[in-house]
């Protein structure tokens, strides 16, 4: 019984230490990403409020200059490292840490649009790489699969922005007439500092401009 009690105490101590260390790690990582956001938009916006909605989710309200964004909010979602079982489940499901930007535009979009980007990667099978087979290989560009029965011209500027090199890391983009008008999510590992964060904000600005052009 004494050995069991000692083992239980040690396990509890390890769990508490694990929880404390990785809670601190998540907070430091979230604060670092938020500093990148502040530095990237220093001349255009400022952070007016921050709060942790959970130990792995940091939210910040941004105030942009006129004709940029209104009611802007950034949500940094980290892996639940302090809770070991949840962390392992997220790793098994290959969930990613993300940064989501939400804001209202000067003029609300008159359409609903939700774009999700998917990539399928595979290694060349031996049958294809076999030089004795006379395969004809084709290298297509990006393919757009849509649920719309008709493709309207106002969507073209938005899709073209996502097809550019600057927009290729976005996971999801959503436009809607209700607030927030624009929502975009990028994997956290695509941001490595002020420069890449500034590029992310530039893509958001291009998307907002594309939305405005679609109404003209």
Give pLDDT tens digits along the chain (216 positions).
667 777 667 777 778 888 889 889 999 999 999 999 888 887 788 888 899 988 899 999 998 877 778 899 999 999 998 888 888 999 898 889 999 999 998 888 887 888 887 666 555 655 556 666 666 767 766 677 777 777 766 677 777 777 765 656 788 888 888 999 999 999 998 888 888 888 888 888 888 877 765 555
Claim: this prediction has a pTM higher than 0.85: no
What DSSP assignment string belongs to 40-94? HTTTTEEEEEEEEEETTEEEEEEEEPTTS-EEEEEEEE---TTSHHHHHHHHHTT
Residue pair 175/158 in contact by the 8 Å Cβ criterion: yes
The span from the CA of 141 to the CA of 215, in Å, is: 28
Residue given tokens 């594309």 in the structure block: 210
The span from the CA of 62 to the CA of 78, in Å, is: 20
C-alpha separations of 51 from 67, 109, 197 in Å: 26, 29, 20
The 10s digit of each residue's pLDDT in 86-113 is 889 998 988 899 999 999 988 888 878 8
Closest by Cα among 212, 164, 169, 174 to 187? 169
């Amino acid at each position: 019984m004494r050995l069991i009690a000692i083992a239980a105490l040690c396990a509890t101590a390890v769990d508490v230490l694990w929880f404390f260390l990785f809670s601190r790690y998540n907070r430091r990582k979230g604060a670092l990403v938020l500093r990148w956001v502040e530095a990237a938009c220093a001349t255009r916006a400022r952070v007016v409020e921050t709060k942790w909605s959970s130990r792995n989710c940091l939210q910040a309200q941004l105030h942009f200059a006129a004709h940029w964004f209104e009611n802007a909010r950034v949500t940094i979602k980290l892996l639940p490292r302090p809770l070991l079982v949840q962390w392992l489940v997220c790793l098994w499901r290959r969930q990613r840490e993300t940064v989501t930007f939400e804001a209202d535009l000067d003029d609300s979009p008159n359409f609903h649009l939700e774009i999700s980007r998917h990539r399928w990667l595979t290694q060349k099978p031996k049958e294809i790489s076999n030089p004795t087979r006379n395969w004809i290989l084709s290298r297509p560009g990006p393919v757009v699969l849509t649920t719309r029965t008709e493709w309207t011209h106002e969507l073209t500027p938005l899709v073209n922005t996502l097809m550019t090199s600057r927009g290729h890391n976005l996971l999801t983009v959503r436009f809607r007439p209700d607030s927030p008008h624009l929502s975009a999510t990028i994997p956290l590992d695509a941001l490595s500092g002020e420069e890449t964060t500034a590029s992310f904000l530039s893509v958001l600005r291009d998307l907002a401009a594309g939305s405005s052009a679609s109404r003209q």
